[in-house]
Structure 1
Amino acid sequence: MSSQDNPEENLPAGQGAEEHSAELAKNPFADPGLPPHEHRIQDLDERAAKRSERVVAFLFTLSMLATAGFIASYVIFKPGKIVYIWPFGHVSALNFSLGLTLGLALFSIGAGAVHWARTLMSDVELVDERHDIEADADTKAKVIADFKQGAKDSVLGRRKLIRNSMFGALALVPLSGVVLLRDLGPLPEKKLRSTKWKKGSVIVNMNTNEPLRPEDVITGSLTFAKPEGLEETDHDFQNQIAKAALMIIRIAPENIKDKRELDWSHQGIVAYSKICTHVGCPISLYEQQTHHVLCPCHQSTFDLSDGARVIFGPAGHPLPQLRIGVNDEGYLEALGDFDQPVGPAFWERG
Structure 2
Amino acid sequence: MSDESHGGSRNSGAVDPVGQGGVDQFHNPGLPHHAERITDKDPRAVKRAETQVMVLFIISVIGTVLFFVGYFGVGHSGIEIGTKLRLQNTLIGLGTAFAMLGIGLGIIHWAKALMPDHESVELRHEIAPESQRAEAQEIIETILEESGMDRRKVLRNTLIGAVLVAPIPAVFMFRDLDRSQLGANAMVDRLRHTMWAKGVRLVRDPSGLPIKASDVQLGSAFHVIPEGLNELKEGKLNEKAKAVVLLMRLPEDKMTVSPGRETWNVDGIVAYSKICTHVGCPVALYEQQTHHLLCPCHQSTFDLTQECKVIFGPAGHALPQLPIEVDSEGYLVAQSDFQEPVGPSYWERG
Give the structure-1-normalised TM-score. Answer: 0.49
Higher Cα radius of gyration: 1
Give the structure-2-normalised TM-score. Answer: 0.49
